[in-house]
């Protein structure tokens, strides 16, 4: 049984379709359930079972206690069983719309999907949703399991009708294989043993089919690709590049190219445990050594020189949003693509795709479990392949920079040509030259705090002082900018993010020009202030938190805005119906209620020197 | 995916975890799964040594042969071994007999593990758990996120797509990484055979002194095992499918003395390996509860 191939598949359907029962039966009948587990099952069946005196096979797979009590499957569970021919890994995922992300997770590593249909109900909205997700995640092989045929008296016409409806719906997805099987998971018909009750069905049983379907992707005949995970330097004479071959074959002596740098070299050795190999193919984890001392680091791609993949920094991609907090275009996220981690933003949302109908809907943001097509813009160029060509080099995740949670999963469709046409203008007279002429160190002083906290007052005082000292300064003030540069923007979260992005970029240009820039903006969100900070060199960004309580600001209400907001005449007002995220590590923390504006200014001056 | 693919996947996981770690460690419990995991780690970084130490949380109740095997593997791998015992628990005389398996495990394993991790400030901790072992493990991520205080919240686990593991954490938080997630007991044995991985001799059947308790054979490994009235050790041909603290680990009657025989027996087994572990079944959903509290 040594080198049996493994087939990874996902089961799509809801509890009511008999999904857990089907998996339970596969495990049970392939003798992957031990006696003590059966005893536990008998006990559980009496306590939680839904099958009367019969054993409830579904309880074998509904693992967590909360799930057992509520009778729902809320997460992805992985199950294992084997036949003499193959090992199987089953991703068991929930079927309801609120668990779309769990299903996508299970589908991301699967090669085949079993889509369950309740014969009494036929093709439902949820069937279409499951099929759409399966196709989007790149699964090319589908088994249509038409279950509960026992409740429809194993009627051939019921089966045929469902198959016909499904086949015409699925035609657009271009699955490589699609096979339908009539079965009863509860009673076992056509799961393992051929059923005597479906004489009209001549195809294989479910297990026979899983045992024989050919799903091996064509990854060895295509050009060599390996993402470098780690560089190993045990001593001065050895420099090995560690990774897992994601496509093709590599041989000793092959010419390879390092991307994105484009430098080429030759494979010196393929090092494995206590030895070397002549060649390896896709799927193997190896250590490569190269003939030349070339610069290679984690996240670089080693590829065949004959057919290198593209390199780009702007893409169109499908994106599934997985966080309670919606996607905001323009906000920077960490993006992990193969072993490369890079900062990037969703520059625009082209449309949202209704997961039930496939309809394209205009959207400004994406919420939990929503799918959209977006433009993605990265801070660096990366080597990639479109997801349809290579899942390993075209799939990516988005990580929130503050919560560090995984908030999105994406699939690159193609690179936007803009990336190759846009070059950064190299400038001869640089920031240093300009600032030397002005005899000052340019920097950005970023004031943040509630409306009315005293930001503008302190910024004005500071500018007067600096000006008197002969410094070249400029104030970017929230209200003034909104009258000009940002006059097209409102106060929704997405617009606020864009507003801050513009201000930060303007401030950056001004410091490049040698100026000391004072930015006075509420700037309520941590992630945008972080984005602004990252534009500047260390030490050139001074965040000043002008801290005054909401009560204090509301009492002052110099512009009468709080009163308006309280009357409901002003929407999305920070502190009232929009949140303010206080800085955690501001360079200067001023308590404007307790200190005079002059004292506050002095403290900033101290920090600048 | 053959064994080669399983191996490659695990090596990829180990490398990915190390690339994102500031202070990694590998939990080494000396059992067969730990042996396979250690072997994979050595393969992953060859010709370098794995860039992390091994940590053995020692309850002081392990089988004698486990301690000698541990020393052998440390010498062979050239890796650093850290050991940790909850000395407060030990001083309080916590033992598996008078305090019950549940309390003993909580103090000497779960608490001890947390203390050891806090002491060294490890942020990435490799463990040898497999998804096929137990129901709540089936939903475990490969990179399992633990909040400050080492708590596992099944509703707060990060989605894990493709082979893209999110290794970003904040101070005080940690990741438990399970490179053997997709291995089954069969895979482990076949791999041990193929790679000739050294394992503790207790896995092989031999005549050993045992007593029968609650339907399980307990090895009389040293004189700390209190014999109940009328109980006398008898010599039986037994072996272990899983190794832990000797008073809590049941032996099975078997004549399987070679890897071939063990594999043949495992394929025919009608009882899961965890049944020999007394701690899984002492309360409903017990593994899930232990995990939430920080047990592996």
At A194-249, the pLDDT tens digits run 999 999 999 999 999 999 998 766 667 889 999 999 999 988 889 999 999 999 99
Place of tokens 């091994």: B54
Give φ, ψ of A228 to 5 degrees. Answer: -85, 120
CB contact under 8 Å between B45 and A272, yes or no, is no
Other CB atoms within 10 A of residue A544 CB: 27
CB contact under 8 Å between A404 and B166, yes or no, is yes
Whole-number Å distance between alpha carbons of B186 and B175? 27
Tell me which of 2.40.30.10, 3.40.50.720, 3.30.479.10, 1.20.210.10 is the CATH number of domain A225-304. 2.40.30.10
Cβ atoms of residues B130 and B138 within 8 Å:
no
**Confidence band of A361 (pLDDT split at 50, 70, 90):** very high
Which strands, in side-by-side order, build the sheet including A141-147? A77-82, A87-92, A6-12, A112-118, A141-147, A177-182
Which of A417-426, A450-459, A490-499, A560-569 has the highest mean predicted lDDT (pLDDT)?
A: A450-459
Q: Could you please state the CATH topology (level 3) that the domain comprising B3-187+285-292 is classified under.
A: Rossmann fold (3.40.50)
Q: pLDDT digits over B32-54, tens only?
A: 999 999 999 999 999 999 999 99
Q: How far is B284 from chain A (nearest CA, A)?
A: 9
Mean per-residue pLDDT of chain B:
88
Residues constituting chain A:
609
Of all residues in chain B, the one with the smallest CA distance to A236 is: B48
**Confidence band of A428 (pLDDT split at 50, 70, 90):** low
Q: How far is B62 from chain A (nearest CA, A)?
A: 25
CATH 3.40.50.620 in chain B: give the residue spans: 3-187+285-292
Paired sense of beta strands A112-118 and A141-147, if any: parallel
In this prediction, residues B11-34 reach a mean pLDDT of 96
Partners of residue A230 in chain B, C-beta under 8 Å = 15, 18-19
pLDDT of A472 = 92
CB contact under 8 Å between B190 and A2, yes or no, is yes
Q: pLDDT digits over B159-180, tens only?
A: 999 999 999 999 889 999 999 9
Distance of CA B49 to the CA centre of its chain: 22
H-run or E-run covering B77: helix B64-77
Lowest average pLDDT, out of A128-132, A422-426, A449-453, B223-227, goes to: A422-426
Q: B194 is written with which tokens?
A: 């193929």
In this prediction, residues B236-250 reach a mean pLDDT of 92
Same-fold call for A225-304 versus A310-421: yes
The CA-CA-CA angle for residues A27, A28, A34, to 5°, reads 95
Q: What is the DSSP letter of A355?
A: T
Tell me which of 1.10.1330.10, 3.40.50.1970, 2.40.30.10, 1.10.3720.10 is the CATH number of domain A310-421. 2.40.30.10
Q: How far is A442 from chain B (nearest CA, A)?
A: 32
* pLDDT score of A34 more than 80: no
Domain boundaries of chain A, sorted by first residue = 6-212, 225-304, 310-421, 431-608
Of all residues in chain A, the one with the smallest CA distance to B46 is: A273
Q: Classify the C-alpha dihedral A532-A534-A539-A545 as positive or negative.
A: positive
Q: How far is A39 from chain B (nearest CA, A)?
A: 10
Paired sense of beta strands A177-182 and B124-126, if any: unpaired
pLDDT of A420 = 47
pLDDT of A38 = 65
Q: pLDDT digits over B110-122, tens only?
A: 899 999 999 999 9
**Confidence band of A433 (pLDDT split at 50, 70, 90):** confident
**Where does A49-121 show beta strands of DSSP type E?**
77-82, 87-92, 112-118
CB contact under 8 Å between B16 and A229, yes or no, is yes
| Between B230 and A463, residue with greater pLDDT | A463
Q: pLDDT digits over A258-301, tens only?
A: 999 889 999 999 998 878 999 999 999 999 999 999 999 999 99
Q: Is the peptide bond before A334 cis (omega within 30 degrees of 0)?
A: no
Q: Could you please state the CATH topology (level 3) that the domain comprising A6-212 is classified under.
A: Rossmann fold (3.40.50)
CB contact under 8 Å between B166 and A405, yes or no, is yes
H-run or E-run covering B259: helix B259-268
User: What end-to-end distance do the CA atoms of chain A give, in Å?
Assistant: 72
Q: Is the peptide bond before A260 cis (omega within 30 degrees of 0)?
A: yes
- Selection from B208, B234, B245, B6 nearest residue B109 by Cα: B245
Of all residues in chain A, the one with the smallest CA distance to B1 is: A6
- The DSSP secondary structure of A214-228, one letter per residue, reads ----S-SSSPPEEEE
* Chain pair A-B, CB pairs under 8 angstroms: 165
In this prediction, residues A328-344 reach a mean pLDDT of 92
pLDDT of A484 = 86
CB contact under 8 Å between B161 and A397, yes or no, is yes
Q: A324 is written with which tokens?
A: 């309670």
- Selection from B182, B288, B278 nearest residue A36 by Cα: B278
Q: What is the DSSP letter of A424?
A: P
- The DSSP secondary structure of B185-224, one letter per residue, reads HHHHHHHHHHHT----GGGS-EEEEEEEETTEEEE--STT
Please identify every residue of A annotated as catalytic.
523
CB nearest to A34's CB, from B4, B45, B271: B271
**Confidence band of A73 (pLDDT split at 50, 70, 90):** very low
In this prediction, residues B253-269 reach a mean pLDDT of 87
Partners of residue A109 in chain B, C-beta under 8 Å = 161-163
Give A235's contacts (C-beta < 8 A, 6+ positions apart): none
Q: pLDDT digits over A37-69, tens only?
A: 666 766 766 666 666 656 676 666 655 445 545
Could you name the CATH architecture of A431-608? 3-Layer(aba) Sandwich (3.40)
């Amino acid at each position: 049984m040594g080198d049996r191939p493994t087939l990874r598949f996902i089961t799509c359907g809801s509890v009511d379709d008999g999904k857990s029962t089907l998996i339970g039966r596969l495990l049970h009948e392939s003798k992957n359930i031990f006696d003590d587990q059966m005893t536990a099952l008998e006990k559980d069946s009496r306590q939680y079972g839904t099958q009367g005196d019969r054993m409830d096979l579904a309880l074998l797979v509904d693992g967590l206690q909360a799930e057992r009590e509520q009778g729902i499957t809320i997460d992805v569970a992985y199950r294992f069983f084997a036949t003499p021919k193959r090992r199987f890994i089953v991703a068991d995922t929930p079927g309801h719309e609120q668990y779309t992300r769990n299903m996508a997770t299970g589908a991301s590593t699967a090669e085949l999907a079993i889509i369950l249909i309740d014969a009494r109900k036929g093709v439902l909205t949820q069937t279409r949703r499951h099929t759409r997700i399966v196709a989007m995640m790149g699964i090319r092989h589908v088994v249509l399991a038409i279950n509960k045929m026992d409740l429809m008296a194993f009627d051939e016409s019921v089966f045929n009708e469902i198959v016909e409806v499904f086949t015409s719906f699925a035609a657009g997805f271009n699955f490589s294989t699609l096979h339908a099987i009539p079965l009863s998971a509860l009673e076992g018909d056509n799961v393992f043993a051929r059923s005597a009750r479906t004489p009209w069905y001549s195809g294989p049983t479910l297990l026979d089919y899983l045992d024989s379907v050919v799903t091996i992707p064509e990854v060895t005949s295509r050009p060599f690709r390996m993402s470098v995970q780690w560089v190993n330097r045990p001593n001065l004479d050895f420099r090995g590049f560690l990774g897992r071959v994601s496509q093709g074959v590599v041989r000793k002596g092959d010419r390879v190219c390092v991307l994105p740098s484009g430098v080429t070299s030759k494979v010196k050795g393929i090092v494995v445990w206590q030895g070397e190999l002549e060649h390896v193919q896709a799927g193997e984890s190896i250590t490569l050594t190269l003939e030349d001392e070339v610069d290679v680091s984690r996240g670089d791609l080693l590829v065949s020189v004959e057919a290198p993949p593209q390199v780009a920094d702007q893409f169109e991609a499908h994106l599934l949003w997985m966080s309670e907090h919606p996607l905001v275009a323009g906000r920077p996220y960490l993006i992990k693509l193969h072993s490369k981690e890079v900062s990037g933003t969703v520059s625009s949302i082209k449309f949202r795709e209704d997961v039930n109908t496939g309809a394209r809907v205009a959207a400004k943001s994406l919420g939990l479990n929503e799918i959209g097509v977006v433009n993605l813009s990265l801070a660096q160029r990366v080597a990639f392949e479109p997801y349809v060509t290579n899942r390993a080099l075209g799939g990516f995740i988005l990580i929130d920079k503050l919560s560090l949670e995984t908030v999105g999963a994406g699939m690159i469709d193609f690179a936007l040509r803009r990336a190759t046409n846009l070059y950064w203008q190299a400038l001869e007279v640089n920031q240093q030259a300009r600032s030397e002429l002005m005899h000052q160190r340019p920097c950005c002083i970023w004031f943040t705090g509630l409306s009315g906290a005293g930001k503008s007052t302190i910024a004005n005082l500071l500018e007067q002082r600096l000006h008197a000292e002969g410094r070249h300064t400029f104030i970017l003030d929230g209200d003034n900018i909104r009258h000009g540069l940002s006059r097209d923007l409102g106060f929704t979260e997405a617009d606020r993010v864009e507003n801050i992005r513009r201000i930060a970029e303007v401030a950056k240009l001004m410091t490049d020009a040698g100026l000391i820039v004072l930015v006075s903006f509420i700037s309520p969100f941590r992630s945008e202030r972080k984005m602004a900070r990252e534009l500047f060199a260390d030490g050139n960004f001074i965040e000043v938190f002008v801290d005054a309580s909401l009560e204090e600001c509301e009492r002052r209400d110099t512009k009468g805005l709080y009163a308006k907001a309280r009357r409901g005449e002003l929407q999305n007002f920070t502190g009232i119906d929009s949140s303010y995220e206080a800085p955690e590590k501001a360079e200067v923390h001023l308590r404007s209620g307790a200190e005079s504006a002059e004292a506050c200014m002095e403290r900033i001056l101290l920090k600048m020197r | 995916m053959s064994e080669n693919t399983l191996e490659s996947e695990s090596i990829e996981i180990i490398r990915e975890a190390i690339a994102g770690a500031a202070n990694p460690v590998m939990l080494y419990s000396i059992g067969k799964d730990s042996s396979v995991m250690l072997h994979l780690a050595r393969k992953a970084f060859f010709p370098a040594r794995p860039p992390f130490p091994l940590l053995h949380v020692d309850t002081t109740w392990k089988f004698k042969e486990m301690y000698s095997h541990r020393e052998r593997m440390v010498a062979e791998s050239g890796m650093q071994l850290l050991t940790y015992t909850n000395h407060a628990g030990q001083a309080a005389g916590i033992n598996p007999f008078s305090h019950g398996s549940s309390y003993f495990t909580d103090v000497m394993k779960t608490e001890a593990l947390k203390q050891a991790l806090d002491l060294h400030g490890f942020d990435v901790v490799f463990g040898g758990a497999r998804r096929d072992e137990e129901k709540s493990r089936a939903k475990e991520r490969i990179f399992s996120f633990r909040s400050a205080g080492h708590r596992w919240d099944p509703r707060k686990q990060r989605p894990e797509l493709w082979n893209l593991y999110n290794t970003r954490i904040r101070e005080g938080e940690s990741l438990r990484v399970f490179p053997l997630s997709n291995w089954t007991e069969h895979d482990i044995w076949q791999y041990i055979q193929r790679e000739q991985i050294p394992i503790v001799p207790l896995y092989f059947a031999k005549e050993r002194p045992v007593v029968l308790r609650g339907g399980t054979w307990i090895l009389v490994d040293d004189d700390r095992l209190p014999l109940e009235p009328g109980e006398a050790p008898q010599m039986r041909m037994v072996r272990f499918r899983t190794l832990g603290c000797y008073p809590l680990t049941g032996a099975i009657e078997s004549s399987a003395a070679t890897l071939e025989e063990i594999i043949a027996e495992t394929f025919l087994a009608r009882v899961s390996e965890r049944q020999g572990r007394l701690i899984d079944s002492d309360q409903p959903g017990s593994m899930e509860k232990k995990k939430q509290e920080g047990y592996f």
